[in-house]
Every structure is written in structure tokens, then in C-alpha cells.
A and B are shown apart, each in its own frame.
Chain A
Amino acid sequence: MNNRSTLYTLVGLAVAALIGNLWAESNLEYWEDSLRSHQSRYKSIWEECDDLEMRREKAPKGSDEQSFRLHFQTQAYSAQMGDINVNVNTRNRNSVEDKIFKIEFVKGDQGFRRDQLRNFLFNAELLYPRVRTTSLVIKPHSEGARSRGIDTGVERIDLWDITKLEMRQRSPKAKN
């Protein structure tokens, strides 16, 4: 092989090596991008899975009346407020549907402390989606004198009668 043939062979090899090098660089860049993408997505997936795991535990597993009754009753027991009766009405309004829950406490004539009531309302709202307290009337507990009420300014313990409690869940209407 003479010099010219050697040179041509080397030029051919150099071109082939250059093409190979460019391919390898491109391939490396591709895998670097891929790895960066994997890193960001891996972090995101991990965080979302943790979030899902936590929120699913607290999420309502049903949306029927029985589920709501169970939910409110559970919160009432947690707040040591005894059994409750829940009366459910549904009202459609424009693009939303309201479920209205009128709650009566069976042991309501014994009166409840305000912290009990707040605890009940807080958990009832927090642990079920889109639930709000929409009506609440409380008066100082007056055992045996409910009809005339208690005199104003008179010293009393922190017990209250829940005259009216209404909660509401508002959901968007299902789109057909």
C-alpha cells in the first residue's frame, strides 16, 4: 500500500471515527437527558405516592348517605357527644348539588362544652371533602328551664345547647 492509499484509508477511518464519535456524543447526551428526566420524575413520583398514600387514608371511601351518617357519627363519638340523628336533604342549584345534613344530638338536653362542639365541627369539615357548617345556633344550657332560657349575666358553667346545626356538602353536578 503506498502513501496515498494509506492516507485515503486513514481519512476514511477518521471520517468513520468522527461519525462514530458524533453518534456516541449524541447517544451520551440522550442518556444524560434521560437520566435527568428520570431523576426529576423519580422524585416527583416518590412525593406524589407519599401524598396519595396519606390522602387516601383520609379520603372518603363512599358518597352515599350511609357513609355520611357514619362519618358524622364517628366524629360525634370522637368528641364524646354521643349518638346523633342525621336528616339528609338534597338540593340542586345551577351547576352544583347540595347535600344538607341536619344534625340532632340525642343527648342534646345535657348540653355540650364549646370545645367539644368545635372539635366535632372541625373534624366533620376537615375529613370529608367539600363539607361546611352552614347554620349553627347555640345557647347557654338551661336544664329544666329551656323554654324561658337563662337570665343574662348570670354565672354559669361552659355548657351549651345546640338549637340548630346544619352542614352541607356541595359537589359539582356530574357532566353527561
Chain B
Amino acid sequence: MANSLGIHLYSHGFDYVVLEGTAKRYSVSDSGSVCFSAADVEDVKDVAKRIAEISKGFKGNQICLSLSSAAVLNRELGLPFNNRDKVAQVIKFEIESELYHLNVDDVVVDFFELDDGRATSTMSVNALDKSRLASALEICEAASFDPPIVDLSIASLFNAIKVLPESERTDHEAYLHIGAESSQLVVLSPAGMVSATRTIPLGWLELARNFVVDDTDVIAADSEDIDSEVLDADDDAADDSDSSFELGGDTSIPFGNDFSTVMNTCSHAEQQSFSRALESELRRALTALNYSGSPLYLLGAQIDGLADDLSVGLSIQVAPLDLGLTGPDDSVPHTIALGAALRAIGAESLEMNFRQEEYRYARGVERIEGPLTWAMVGLVFYFAFGMAIDVKLSQQKSADSAVMYSRARQKVQRLNDQVGNTEDYPDSWVIKNDFSANDVPQEEHIHLLKRSVDKAKKELDQLMGEDEVEMPQSCLEAWRLLMNHLEVEMADYGGKWMIESFEFTSFNKSANEPAHVGVKFGITIFPDSSGQLIGRFDRLQRNLQAQDFTVGQVEIPSTEPASIPEAKTATVEVDILATNPNVSEKS
């Protein structure tokens, strides 16, 4: 079952209530109050430590922090509309003229609607000093929690009053909560809505003002009358520079006194004085609120005889009020903290929340904070591990590259040594292989080395090459082509044949002819075993003409008898395209 925690934080301590259950059905599982000592308030961490002991185990969205409404500027503002979202858009501009002594950028403003019976909407606007909000959130942060809701004690009082069963009100009812540093007055309309509110800067700690304290850091209060102290409260607050955090309370009152200690220590005269001061403040407030004759219910600190004193003094019915909720040991939960806890659990409220502007609650991050933290830890290790592996591999590959370059350089150096050692090798054949003076990274040196070798190769190609020149055709190649053909042509001939002469002449390319080799060769053919020779020269001419290397016409001007009987001799004229297929290899 879900728990919720309400904390009412003020300068001299905090009250807390832990609720268990839901907004409709809940019970008080814990309740208490902690007083700060003078030493505690010297350091935010000490204060936070006290709160952390209580808030430990609560998730952020289950906590509501209620700050004292004392010293919170409150104004009533009439508006022609009451839609909360629309009002929220304009409220800060509307209230700015009322904050003549404050910079509107230094306060966070929130509001609730008053049920004052007027035709137009009246808003009760509260301006909380950002420094106080920052102090409170700083304490919470130091206590390792982040409350999503920061409310005021006056609103928390309303939440707590709503615990009472709804009865048919016939008239307004007033509720006074007597707190430690201040008292809150809420007037409810017959409809159960807030009709008016006042915060009276007078709490039961006033009874401890004249206590003697050992702590030298705390300024001892002088023995002025309590009434005059109340009147000068603003001046005293201005002198509060000793405390290390500012929550708006009167820090000139000694620290470290709980309610029972105060009541046991203070004198009856001081109680009477307190009752008179409170009566005076209440009269002023009720008169201003135009509230009279209806009952006034007392909540919070139960001071003996106070109800009777107020009843007599104000001439109205005053009675202590029990909200009907008790803690595990039958203790009465603190009203403001209860209201805050109810707000945290989702009960009816005035919907004020001062976590706005730069203090807005980051709910999404809060929810995933735990998993996100572990995810971040995992990511850090994952990335760091990956980085370490990559760096190691990079170093290995860098070393491999360096070894490869070194070997390539040595290979070129051996070639250069050969140039130096061979007498007829020109010096221009030395290939540059030292690039240490070049302003390029080490890993680019192999590129430069390759370029040097390419250059040497190109120079040798130019020396040996034929690509750029149309070469004359080789008589040797023409001789080879012709003899290969004759060997094949005469292979199946049974008779004898012999070459009488060769004459090769290479011709350059002309307008009419490609480059070729003109060949004249003499050949003598003897009759075969059957004595036949007829047609052999024609066949020779025909087959030679059919060869791929032959250009133009093959001519045999005439055949003549050879010196040997029956043999015939002829001169064959043929042009041969003697393209050497190995010419590229030769270059």
C-alpha cells in the first residue's frame, strides 16, 4: 500500500505525518515533530540530515513540502474569469502592481479562488520569495529527495479541515491553527470553500522568546513586551542574518524547545500575555474579514485556557477541534503536516504548487533516475571498454603499417644500392625513399614512396616504351609469319620445295596504306612422287592471300623452269602486316 509523507518545514523545526492508503481511505502510520537546535541551523546539511531520517524510503512523488505562510505576501485580486489555466497565464502580470516593494522576478506566484459571494472571481494570490523556496529545496536536495509539490501552510490547513465529514453549514466557519512560528486563520463559506485567509505571525514559540540560551550564536532576546515584539516582527526578521538558511520565521527566538518544554517552562503571566496578543491579532483579522458571530475552531497547539480566553475576549464561540485522526500511539497528527500528506496522497486541495519557473519539478527524470543511473554506469563501462579495445587495435595496426613501410623502404633501398654499385647505371635511377623531412604524417610516407617508385617506372617506360610512337614494322616479324605459313602450306605436299631468296622492306604508313612489310621471295617447287606440279603455285598464291597478315594482292608475275628439270621457280610478291604481338612485352 502506498505511503505519503507531508512535511511542514519552518525555521525552528519541522512536523511530519506519514499516511498509508489512498486518497479515499487512509490512516496515519507515523507522525511527529522535530526541533532544530541552534547548532543544526548553522548548516543546511545538519537540517537535511534530520529530515532525511524521516523521508528515507519515500519516493519523490509521495512527498509534499509545506512552507510557512508567514512572511508570504498575500493579496486579493478580482478577475473577470476563474479558469485556472487562464488565470495562471496572467496572474503574475496582474499582481505586479501590488508588489511595489518587490521585484516580480524574485517571487513565485500562485493562487486559489475565494468564495466571497461576489459576482466576479476573487483570487487569493500568494507570492513566495524565491530565496525561501530555494533554501527549502536546497535542504530537500541535501536530504536526497525532491518534493514535486511545495505548498503553503494556509493551504495545507484547508486540506486538513477537509478531513472533517461534510455537514450542512448554514453560515461561515472560522478555523485557527496555532503553529510554532505563526498561526493560520481560514474562513470557510457555507459551501465549504475558502472564503478568507489570514496568517498571524504569532505561534506558541513566542512563549519561549525570553528563554535563556547557552548558544552564543543565538542572539538573546531582550525582555520587551510580547505585543511590541509582534509589532516589530518585520524589523526583527530583517536582522536575521545569523541563520544559514532563510525560511521566513523569526530566528531570534531560541532554538531547541519543543511544545511540552515551552509549556512547562513558561509562566502563567507569559501565557496570558500570549493570549492577549493572539486575541488582538485575531480581532484585527476577523474585523478585516468582516467575520463575526460564527464559531471559531482551534487546531494545532492546545494551550490550556486559550479557548476560554479568546471566547471571552472576542465574544464569540471558540472551541478546540479534533479532526478525528490519530497516530499509532493515539497521538494527534500535526495539522499542517497532515494537510501536506493529504495533498501528496491526492486528496482535495487548493491546487497551489510553488514549484514553478526555474524550480519546476522534473518528474520524468525522477521516475527513471534509478534505472537511468544503472544504465549510465553500464554505458560508461561499455564505451570505456570499447574505447580501450579500439585504441589497442589501432596501436597494433599502426605498428603493422610501420613495419610494412619499413620493409618497402628497405626494398627500394636495395634497388638504390644496386644503382650505386653498378657502374653504368645513371644516378637518375636512384629512387627517393627518405621522407622524414616532409611535413606529412608518418602513415602517408608509403604513399610518397609509391609515388617515387611509380615515377621511376614511368621514366623507364619512357626510355623503353613505344606507346607514343608509331613504329616501323619489323622485317624479322614478317619473315617469321611468312615461314610459319609456308611450313604449314607445304606440309602436305609430297614434293620438294626450296626458298631461293628473300627481300624484305618495311614501309611506313601512308595515306593509302597502313604500315607494312613488302616481301619478295623466290621459291622453287619440284614435282611430287606422281610427277604432278600443276596448280601448286596458284594454290600457294590463293592461300597466302587468305592469311590475316596479308594486305593488298599477292602476285606471282610468272613461273619459270628451274635449273633442275621439271622443277619450276617463281618470285612471289606479298605485303605483310607484321605487327609483333609481343611488342608490349618487349617494352
Contact = CB atoms under 8 A, between A and B. Distances in A.
Interface of A: 2-4, 6-7, 10-11, 13-14, 17-18, 20-21, 23-25, 27-28, 30-32, 34-35, 37-39, 41-42, 44-46, 48-49, 51-53, 55-56, 59-61, 96, 118, 121-122, 125-126, 129-130, 132-140, 151-154, 168, 170-172
B376 A42 contact: no
A137 B502 contact: yes
A51 B404 CA distance: 19
A115 to B, nearest CB: 12
B370 to A, nearest CB: 8
Nearest to B521: A138
Nearest to B523: A152
B500 interface: yes
A21 B393 CA distance: 13
B450 A41 contact: yes
Contact of B380 (A17, A138, A151): A17
B464 A55 contact: yes
Given A61-B426, A134-B475, A134-B505, A38 B401 contact: yes
Contacts of B500: 139-140, 152
7 contacts: A7-B373, A13-B380, A17-B387, A31-B398, A44-B450, A132-B471, A171-B469
B301 to A, nearest CB: 34
B502 A41 contact: no
A131 to B, nearest CB: 9
A75 B456 CA distance: 28
Interface residues of B, number: 82
Interface string B558-579: 0000111001010000000000
B404 A137 contact: no
Contact of B479 (A6, A32, A136): A136
A117 to B, nearest CB: 9
B528 interface: no
B268 interface: no
Interface string B459-503: 010011110111111111001000000000000000000101111
Contacts of A168: 472, 506
5 tightest A-B CB contacts, nearest first = A17-B383, A153-B562, A24-B390, A10-B376, A151-B563
Contacts of A118: 476, 479
A55 to B, nearest CB: 6
A85 B468 CA distance: 31
Contacts of A56: 418, 425, 429, 460
Interface in B70-121: none
Given A24-B387, A52-B453, A152-B563, A133 B379 contact: no
A21 B386 contact: yes
Q: Which of B382, B404, B456, B569 has its CB near the most chain A CB atoms (within 10 A)?
A: B404
Contacts of B447: 37, 41
A28 B475 CA distance: 60
A31 B394 contact: yes
Interface string B206-223: 000000000000000000
Given A3-B373, A17-B387, A45-B453, A138 B400 contact: no
A143 to B, nearest CB: 17
B408 A46 contact: yes
Contact of B401 (A34, A51, A137): A34
A135 B506 contact: yes
Contacts of B479: 118, 136
Interface stretch (B125-133, B139-147, B242-250, B331-339): B139-147
B451 to A, nearest CB: 10
A140 B501 contact: yes
Contacts of A7: 365, 369, 372-373, 376
A152 B522 contact: yes
B144 A3 contact: yes
Contacts of A35: 397, 400-401, 404
Contacts of A60: 463
A25 B394 CA distance: 9
Interface in B372-414: 372-373, 376-377, 379-380, 382-384, 386-388, 390-391, 393-394, 397-398, 400-401, 404-405, 407-408, 411-412, 414
B569 A152 contact: yes
Contacts of B393: 28, 31
B406 to A, nearest CB: 10
Contacts of B457: 48, 51-52
A10 B380 contact: yes
Nearest to B563: A151
Nearest to A55: B460
